[in-house]
Homo-oligomer: A and B are copies of this chain.
Amino acid sequence: MGYTLQQLSDIEEIKLVKHRYFRGIDTAEMALLDPLFTEDVEVEYIGGDYRVALKGRANMIVFLANSFHSGCQAMHHGHMPEITFTGPDNAEAIWQLEDIFINHEKQEHTYGSAIYRDDMVRENGAWKIARTVYDRVMEVVQPLTPGARYTVSRLAEVGLKPDDRRDISHLITWETIE
């Protein structure tokens, strides 16, 4: 009847992993992100008309560093976790994302929401993301706002500058959905 002390503690630890993930991507803190994934993490993002897939922690870190680069302003906040234990060291977690992503190089402002479904595993006492999938709920892509001043961008300071970025297309499986 209800959660055990161990489960309540695990719920808080699982939340921390995802909270750090979102803080890490918006501030390009790769050292914060690295320990949050299993070595063979599987990643899948489903947008309106595409499906992107990626495997492995090393690839994920390169993918994130090159996606959240110096030309962007980014806010990714994860909300309303629904955590279900599937074993003593396994859980599924649903999260709802709100994101703002202003790409100044493309002059494109994207915002919206998505639902994440993560598989979490405990490895050597630490909860990690073993699989993460997101599926968009709503998305709007618009031009930059006339008259707007883009006054603070943490990524402009700490994100990868153009010369430091790499081509990451070989890391990703890209599929168009009809």
Contact = CB atoms under 8 A, between A and B. Distances in A.
Interface of A: 1-3, 5-6, 8-13, 15-16, 18-20, 22-23, 26-27, 47-48, 73-75, 77-82, 94, 96, 98, 100, 102, 112-113, 115, 125, 136-143, 145-155
A145 B142 contact: yes
Contact of A137 (B12, B15, B48, B152): B152
A147 to B, nearest CB: 5
Nearest to A9: B2
13 contacts: A2-B13, A3-B13, A11-B12, A19-B81, A26-B113, A26-B137, A75-B98, A75-B113, A75-B137, A77-B96, A112-B152, A140-B149, A143-B147
A100 to B, nearest CB: 7
B23 A115 contact: yes
A15 B3 CA distance: 13
Nearest to A48: B152
